[in-house]
């Protein structure tokens, strides 16, 4: 699923708040070299190591990292913890220490005189506290010595059939600004969802499953009553059903935003309902099939679904990274 075709760079990066390594993979697809990672969740780290090997050092909590212990590198990739800014959280923002991870990142930027960074966060950051939180973050990055570009992008426009809006920040150290504007990647037409909903595992969802009765009651609640007939739903292959809200939502040729919790996405295949699997969630986040298959029989679905829901999208980071390399003349 790589969007890259050629590279001419030897740039190095460190993967902070690494999760399961989607940001890393996006940059590696462009030829950049990862020289370290930082992740505090032991379950995410386990999946990360299935993908990238067991020997690499995890630098752990970035708020406790001594920058002198890090190797030299050119670019930081990091996703803020989503808990502080997500619309499904308590929206504590900069008053929550998790929302202040940005200060730990800036400390490392300054200590390493870092040339570039790519940061990601939830879309809810844009309007948090009337835009105050975003304003503070941009001001702090500016004071740290960076020209910063930010934009909300949807993964659906960058190589996967998943609706996933996130805000991205691209930073260029001011002495490296070359007079040109950084250009965000152009949108591409989303691929066919049926190429992603391919798990042949035991994910069929029917009356034999304990939760099926709850599903039937859900279809009969005051929001859904009389609107949907199971027989009709089952006639449309690859129809996607989102049961995570009070009202059932249907999607064709795309999947709604994957989340860390509330894994209630179903789809129709071969006249049967199926649960979205962890393997399929990885594919929908841009992980290639051969890499995603490494988790089978090793990482439980409940963890993969949450980890994919908390991850960046590989193809989106790859597209942003390519645009940054074009700006810096490190890509052709």
Q: Which residues are tagged catalytic?
A: 82
- Largest alpha-carbon pair distance within the chain? 63
Within 10 Å of residue 87's Cβ, how many Cβ atoms? 12
Assigned token pair, 158: 């960058």
Q: Is the dihedral of CA 123, 196, 261, 233 positive or negative?
A: positive
Buried b (16+ CB within 10 A) or exposed e, 249-271: eebeeebbbbbbeebbbbbbbee
| Cα first-last separation, the chain | 19
CA angle (169 as vertex; 152, 44 as ends), nearest 5: 90
- What length is written for the chain? 332
Sort 117 into a burial class: Cβ within 10 Å, 0-12 / 13-18 / 19+: buried
């Amino acid at each position: 699923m790589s969007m890259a075709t050629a590279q001419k760079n030897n740039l190095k990066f460190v993967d902070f708040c690494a999760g399961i390594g989607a940001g890393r993979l996006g940059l590696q697809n462009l030829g950049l070299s990862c020289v370290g990672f930082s992740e505090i969740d032991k379950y995410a780290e386990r999946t990360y190591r299935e993908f990238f090997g067991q020997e690499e050092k995890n630098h752990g909590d970035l708020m406790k990292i001594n920058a002198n212990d890090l190797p030299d590198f050119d670019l930081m990739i990091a996703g803020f913890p989503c808990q502080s800014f997500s619309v499904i959280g308590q929206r504590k923002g900069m008053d929550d220490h998790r929302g202040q991870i940005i200060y730990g990142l800036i400390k490392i930027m300054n200590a390493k005189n870092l040339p570039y960074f790519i940061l990601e966060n939830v879309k809810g950051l844009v309007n948090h506290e009337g835009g105050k939180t975003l304003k503070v973050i941009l001001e702090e990055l500016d004071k740290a010595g960076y020209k910063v570009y930010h934009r909300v992008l949807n993964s659906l426009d960058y190589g996967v059939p998943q609706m996933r809006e996130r805000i991205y920040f691209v930073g260029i150290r001011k002495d490296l600004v070359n007079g040109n504007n950084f250009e965000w990647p152009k949108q591409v037409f989303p691929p066919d969802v049926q190429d992603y909903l391919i798990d042949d595992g035991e994910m069929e969802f029917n009356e034999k499953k304990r939760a099926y009765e709850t599903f039937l009651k859900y279809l009969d609640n005051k929001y859904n009553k009389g609107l949907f007939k199971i027989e009709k739903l089952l006639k449309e292959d690859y129809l996607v059903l989102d049961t995570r809200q009070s009202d059932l939502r249907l999607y064709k040729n795309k999947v709604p935003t994957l989340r860390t919790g509330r894994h209630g996405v179903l789809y129709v295949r071969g006249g049967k309902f199926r649960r979205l699997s962890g393997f399929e969630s990885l594919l929908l986040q841009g992980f290639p099939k051969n890499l995603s298959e490494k988790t089978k029989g090793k990482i439980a679905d409940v963890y993969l679904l949450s980890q994919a829901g908390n991850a960046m999208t590989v193809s989106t980071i790859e597209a942003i990274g390519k645009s940054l390399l074009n700006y810096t003349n490190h890509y052709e």
